[in-house]
Amino acid sequence: MVIVKELPDIIDNIGTFDEYLKDPKKQEFAVSLIKEGSSFIAVKKEKGYIFYPSRFVGHKNNNYDAFIKYNLSSGRDTIEIVSQILKHKPNQMKDLEAEFKAFCLRLGFTAPETGIAGAEHQYWVIGIAE
């Protein structure tokens, strides 16, 4: 699967992920990516931050079918390119970790302490006009 090349590619995937968080048929898939993830793009919205896993938003035109087809089980290949596009590396941030935990509670589960591979959570923060 092709890695994103520019910010609009990431924004498109964020829109798709937002739809999945609202769709009862795809929400479980989206939640599983959040539970397993360690690197997230954090976007401030009305009700607080929303967190988007890099392994989903980092692949161009990503969607449920493509994710399953290409078995995108790791976001390691997306971290560097997302960092280049956003012009900084993701960071571990205590204030965002608290926001992440609140976000997970809004989705109905307790946030894991780390990603599935044991890596601590790290974040890029971006603003998107709604």
Q: Environment class of residue 9 by beta-carbon count within 10 Å: exposed (0-12), middle (13-18) or buried (19+)?
A: buried
Please indicate, yes or no, if residue 2 is contained in any of the structural domains: no
User: Residue 1 domain-assigned?
Assistant: no
Domain containing 52 equals 7-126
Task: Evaluate if pTM is beyond 0.85.
Answer: yes
Tell me the pLDDT band of 73, cut-offs 50, 70 and 90: low
Joined tokens for residue 125: 């923060």
- Contacts of 84-87 with CB under 8 Å at 24 or more apart are 85/4, 85/5, 85/6, 85/7, 85/10, 86/7, 86/41, 86/124, 86/126
Taking phi over 0 as left and psi of -120 to 50 as alpha, with beta for the rest, 71 belongs to left
In the block, residue with structure tokens 């999945």: 20
Other Cβ atoms less than 10 A from the Cβ of 22: the count is 9
Reading the block at residue 65, the tokens are 């079918």
Domain count, the chain: 1
What is the pLDDT of the chain when averaged over all its residues? 92
Is position 116 within any domain? Answer: yes
Q: Which one-letter amino acid corresponds to residue 81?
A: I
Confidence label for 95 from pLDDT (cuts 50, 70 and 90): very high
Average pLDDT estimate for 23-46 = 95
